[in-house]
Amino acid sequence: MGEPPGRPTPILVVSNHGHIVGGGELSLMDLLRGLDRGRWAPALVVPEDGGVASRGRDLGLPVHVVPLPTLWRPGPGVVRSIVALGRLARTTDAALIHANGSRAMIYGGLAGRSAGRPAIWHVRIAESDGAVDRALCALATGVIATSRAVARRFPWAPRKVRLIPNGVDLVRFTPRAPSRALGAVLGVPPSAPVALSVGRFVAEKGYGCLLDAAARIERTKPGVHWILVGDGELKGELGVRARRLGLESRVHFTGWRDDIPDVLALCDVFVCPSENEGFGRVLIEAMAMAKAVVATAVGGIPEIVLDGATGILVPSGAPAALADAVRAVLDDPARASRLGAAGRARAESTFSLAAHVDAVERVYTEVLGAGRAAGELAPIEERER
């Protein structure tokens, strides 16, 4: 298909956060890296300088800092920022505004209205925000939902919502032999079975349940090591709980790491004990690394991990079920490698970064067409996957 020649279309991409808080920012950076620069000229807007801005600059993008003050106590800064963003949309000649998250959408949507530019709201969380959802959806020309669980926030707006799962970089996340050196650094003995979790240490990630499951496994199958990668407000508390459960020599808290593919290569099973998960990038990363996954059947997870085919799903908050599933995978390496191979195949067929970028670019095109024509998107056609 020949694209019309001409200069790339400028767009403004607004990030909720200036720092890398979690998967939402990493997914946005993956998208910005993947966008076809021959067609799109993104400029990045961040509320403050930090990791998001520096990664944007590394990609060669213009970066603008526009504060996005909290709306709990609205002040004059709110109007100033909406005006600044509207001006930026005009001076950069942005054809559309892509807002990553709710706060970005409030500002991006209102600025878009004032400057006459359509706005796309990228939604990554499954919990509803009630009336705010309706207001932001009304401001948006299109809404990107990362899973059906997320799309269910907007039952009244099927024409606006596009289902686009996150993508994983299938080259960065390529299966490889485990590094003994890295295992030693993380405190894992060479022949020990290893379970791994990656994610922020916050209540919704379910790490308390995971530690209880680890204690159960230690009673019936001693010697399993657990690598817990990430950071967050519960880190100290979880350390105390691990010690109380007598697991201090089994559970290894690594803090934040940038070498997730290498850490994944060390594990025999990937465990996601979340109580709530809009999508869960870590799942497609583990699948891409051909790892068997044990995860809770919450939010968008059952759309990603196919129970019995790429992993085992268990109820959330159920340590006994989690322990049984993890033990079942560890006790049957042949099954683990079957699940892992199926996970890699599913990551390739359904969650490639290339397909993700392509789908977002199609929404850009659609929204720009809608802006010129009726001002509304065509009905949603969910692709079965």
Q: Which is closer to ligand UDP, CB of 302 or CB of 371?
A: 302
Does 199 engage in binding with ligand UDP (CB under 6 A)?
A: yes
CA angle, 358 then 362 then 49, to 5°: 70
Q: Which is closer to ligand UDP, CB of 81 or CB of 146?
A: 146
Does 200 engage in binding with ligand UDP (CB under 6 A)?
A: yes
- Residues in contact with 338: Cβ distance below 8 Å, sequence separation at least 6, in sequence order: none
Tokens read off for 67: 């504060």
Q: Which is closer to ligand UDP, CB of 141 or CB of 310?
A: 310
Does 287 engage in binding with ligand UDP (CB under 6 A)?
A: no
> Rounded CA gap, 342 and 306, in Å?
9
Going by C-alpha positions, the residue among 113, 104, 88, 37 that lies closest to residue 371 is 113
CB of 282 to ligand UDP, least distance (A): 4
Contacts 24+ apart (CB under 8 A), 377-383: 377/141, 377/142, 377/159, 377/160, 377/162, 378/159, 379/158, 379/159, 380/158, 380/159, 380/160, 380/161, 380/162, 380/163, 382/148, 382/163, 383/163
Cβ-based burial of 168 (10 A; exposed 0-12, middle 13-18, buried ≥19): buried
Does 260 engage in binding with ligand UDP (CB under 6 A)?
A: yes
Q: Which is closer to ligand UDP, CB of 11 or CB of 286?
A: 286
Does 122 engage in binding with ligand UDP (CB under 6 A)?
A: no
Phi, psi of 139 (to 5 degrees): -75, -25
Of the candidate residues 23, 86, 165, 167, the single one contacting ligand UDP (CB under 6 A): 23
Of the candidate residues 221, 241, 257, 338, the single one contacting ligand UDP (CB under 6 A): 257
Does 303 engage in binding with ligand UDP (CB under 6 A)?
A: no
Does 113 engage in binding with ligand UDP (CB under 6 A)?
A: no
Does 198 engage in binding with ligand UDP (CB under 6 A)?
A: yes
Of the candidate residues 280, 311, 319, 340, the single one contacting ligand UDP (CB under 6 A): 280
Does 165 engage in binding with ligand UDP (CB under 6 A)?
A: no
Q: How many of the chain's residues bind ligand UDP (CB under 6 A)?
A: 18
Q: Are 326 and 294 in contact (CB under 8 A)?
A: yes
CA angle, 201 then 195 then 341, to 5°: 115
CB of 142 to ligand UDP, least distance (A): 22
Match 């054809």 to its residue by tokens: 95
Q: Which is closer to ligand UDP, CB of 218 or CB of 285?
A: 285
Of the candidate residues 230, 273, 299, 343, the single one contacting ligand UDP (CB under 6 A): 230
CB of 138 to ligand UDP, least distance (A): 26
Q: Of the listed pieces 18-26, 58-66, 92-100, 331-339, which binds ligand UDP according to CB under 6 A?
A: 18-26
- Residues in contact with 263: Cβ distance below 8 Å, sequence separation at least 6, in sequence order: 182, 186, 196, 198, 227, 229, 254, 257
CB of 233 to ligand UDP, least distance (A): 13
**Where on the chain is the footprint of ligand UDP (CB under 6 A)?**
22-24, 26, 198-200, 229-230, 256-258, 260, 279-282, 285
